[in-house]
Amino acid sequence: MDHIPKFLVSLVLIMITVIVGVALVTTNFFIGSVRSYQDQVAKAISSADFADSQIEMIKADAASKGYELQIEKTDNEHIYKVDLKYQIKVPIFGALNKTKLTSYVVDYAALAGTSINAELEAPHIELVDKGLGEGEGM
């Protein structure tokens, strides 16, 4: 008779572990899809030749998907900073976290023949995750 309570406790602990694991894996898949979308945005900006009208369409698409997208030129007018703000919700815990993913897109066509172009051999997209504190971001 001593084995039944031990078995039930073990079963409950295993179920809790599985549920928490599924929640974390689901959250990880969501973050992966956000990173993939960020990559698509960077490629779309580049393939649209950095046209303002296309950038506005990309921003509207991001807004329709629940993201906040900011695209701005850096100090070097041929490098664009792309900030994608999104909200992570862990399904089981209901925890919310506002996060920003930053990438930089370089207009290589505009840099052709400049000294900067000699330093840049291939397109490079740098992704940086930044957690936002309370009251920041979205």
Our CA angle for 136, 137, 138, nearest 5°, is 125
* 71 close to 95: Cβ distance less than 8 angstroms: no
Model's pTM, two decimal places? 0.69
Alpha-carbon distance of 110 to 115, in angstroms, equals: 12
Structure tokens at 87: 């909200």
pLDDT tens, position by position, 44-101: 888 888 888 888 999 999 999 989 999 888 887 788 889 999 988 877 777 788 888 8
If you average pLDDT over residues 16-25, what whole number do you get?
A: 89
Check residue 60 and give its pLDDT: 92
Alpha-carbon distance of 80 to 46, in angstroms, equals: 10
E strand map for the chain? 68-73, 79-90, 95-106, 128-131
Alpha-carbon distance of 82 to 99, in angstroms, equals: 14
